Amino acid sequence: MAKQIGADRLGDFYKEGSRVRKRREWRGFRDTMYDYSRWLWIMMTLGKFVMKPRNVKAMFRYRWMANYLAVPMMVDRHTQGLRGEYLRICHTEQDLVIKDVANLLDSLFRGDRRIGNDKKFSDKVVLVDENEMTAVMMGFPDLKVLSRETPSTYVSVLLNQRAACHYIDVAQEFGLAGDVCPMPEAEAGVSIDDDAPILGACAIQCNTTCDGSLLGNGVISQRLEKENGIPVFQLAAPLRHREDDVQDYAAQEIRNAIAFVEKHTGHKWNWDAYFECAKRVNYFTKCRQEWLEMNRTPYPQVFGSNLALYTETNYMAICGRIPAFEKADAKITKLARQAYAKKKMAAKEYRHRAIVWGVQSHYYMDFLVWLLNCWGIVPLTDMLSMVSTKELVTEDTPENREQAIYDMAWLTENMIMRNRTHGGYKVLLDELWEFVEMFNADMVILWEHMSCKALDGMHGMFEEKARERGIPLVWVSHDLFDPRIISRQGVRDQINSFMRTVMQEEPIDPSLEVLPDDQSW
């Protein structure tokens, strides 16, 4: 119980066989009161959500809603050990994401034929994939862009490590392959299990990144189109996104998607709204670049899950459409500058500067905080945060309208994950080493998502390049959404063994080396 960073043995908060921790941290008076005030705010947000009878009805209808019991604990996991500006940055992000997800759930249930059944509202809804750039909706300010997969699977697994297991099993019981990525498989499982809200004027699916994604989209769109009568557009963005000769085709896909939405909703594309969103996208890009610039110095400020989770949400799911995120960008940047000016550190000791590459374990997103607290490894940036930094055109001219179509196509091609797992050797392999140099990193942590065939094929080449450069590289295997294959402790053990045997080091906080969190949310 101390104000100083790193004074607590953070592993002592865990209890064998328990879903939850023994108690919350004492972070000194000021930070504890701040954390408590944010906890109160979260409880009020959840309270407001359950005040609506339709949301209670949904809670008893959809299995994945049970995961939302764990919202405060998700925040606790990500704020573990943090103090001062880092704690405030984390809360600024997490609290906004919680509010945004609560709004998303409320909207889904309002239009859901089983729950709220507000037909007029549902007619304004365009469904999108979870793993899809929403750039194509930037010019439809009066339509609601909702993703069913985001709350049912993506956020659920952040809340509860076992959230997707039921749906993965359902998908496999119905004969779907067990060796595909468990994320789209779980999304398909939700649809097969009749556990997805039914609403919307139409839907847009994206050829995201892999065989599993195409399989999942096929299952979901079949039910949407043939049973629910909701037409689906397949936005097939080119995979070789760095090639000039695919850009005209990519732009045409965007035009087709816009025409599809206009046809099925009766709403017309609004260029003023688009350029407003484009300005916000540019602002986020500017802020993100400033954070990354700080991370190149000995005093990184916005890193780890603070960088990863927020980038995933803001870059892809929000894409300039929600002004509240612009305010959060400004606040985070202000806090980061403040901490940087004082040369502050998020942990008591920084031993290694790491680039985290590959697709991270979703059931253990707070692993990045663990790396810092247990071993003093600073995750400077990660593959999913290294997305497009291209400036979008923001002035409404005839030429810029044409360019804007190409900008949306570029963003769609360069959505998170796809911009690295597809697009050729350079974006996945070569640029990693450019970032190692740029960030002055002395270690690479390479996630091996065992069901991701796009990445697994490059295993040997990563090792060869690491040996050439003399950079220590550690593989961390996981199965993205399924902790039954490799547990959280299994993930930690891979780092523990590497640090003890190869690096010959002792942990900064030994209580975190082995944690009894197998039954935890």
Give me the residues that bind other proteins (CB under 8 A), please.
18-24, 26, 36, 39-40, 43, 59-61, 63, 66, 69-70, 72-73, 170, 174-175, 192-195, 219, 222, 521
Identity of the residue, 188 or 466, whose beta carbon is nearer to other proteins in the bound complex = 188
| Shortest Å, Cβ 5 to other proteins | 20
Identity of the residue, 232 or 347, whose beta carbon is nearer to other proteins in the bound complex = 232
| Shortest Å, Cβ 61 to other proteins | 7
| Shortest Å, Cβ 90 to other proteins | 17
Q: Phi and psi at residue 409, in whole multiples of 5°?
A: -65, -40
Of 25, 34, 24, 23, nearest to 2 by C-alpha is 25
| Shortest Å, Cβ 189 to other proteins | 10
| Shortest Å, Cβ 47 to other proteins | 11
Inter-residue contact 23 to 13 (CB < 8 Å):
yes
| Shortest Å, Cβ 28 to other proteins | 14
Identity of the residue, 190 or 345, whose beta carbon is nearer to other proteins in the bound complex = 190
| Shortest Å, Cβ 31 to other proteins | 13
Identity of the residue, 9 or 23, whose beta carbon is nearer to other proteins in the bound complex = 23
| Shortest Å, Cβ 508 to other proteins | 25
Q: Measure the CA–CA gap between 105 and 132, rounded to whole angstroms.
A: 18
No. of helices (H) and no. of strands (E), the chain: 22, 8
Q: What are the tokens at 329?
A: 């960008």
Of 99, 68, 84, 69, nearest to 35 by C-alpha is 84
Instruction: Give the helix ranges, DSSP H, for 52-181.
Output: 53-61, 71-78, 84-111, 119-122, 149, 155-159, 165-173
| Shortest Å, Cβ 176 to other proteins | 8
Q: What is the amino acid identity at position 443?
A: M
Largest CA distance in the chain: 64
Of 172, 162, 230, 239, nearest to 196 by C-alpha is 230
* One-character DSSP codes across 129-159: -SSS--GGGTT-TTSEEE-SHIIIIIHHHHH
Identity of the residue, 87 or 126, whose beta carbon is nearer to other proteins in the bound complex = 87
Matching residue, tokens 């994320």: 183
Inter-residue contact 164 to 186 (CB < 8 Å):
yes
Which own/partner pairs from 393-399 qualify as long-range (CB within 8 Å, at least 24 positions apart)? Answer: 393/275, 393/278, 394/275, 394/278, 394/279, 394/282, 395/275, 396/271, 396/272, 396/275
Identity of the residue, 15 or 255, whose beta carbon is nearer to other proteins in the bound complex = 15
Inter-residue contact 346 to 335 (CB < 8 Å):
no
Identity of the residue, 37 or 289, whose beta carbon is nearer to other proteins in the bound complex = 37
Helix pair angle (53-61, 84-111), 10° resolution: 90
Identity of the residue, 70 or 415, whose beta carbon is nearer to other proteins in the bound complex = 70
**Ramachandran quadrant class, 445 (left: phi over 0; alpha: psi -120 to 50; beta: rest):** beta
Identity of the residue, 2 or 43, whose beta carbon is nearer to other proteins in the bound complex = 43
| Shortest Å, Cβ 35 to other proteins | 8
Identity of the residue, 46 or 393, whose beta carbon is nearer to other proteins in the bound complex = 46
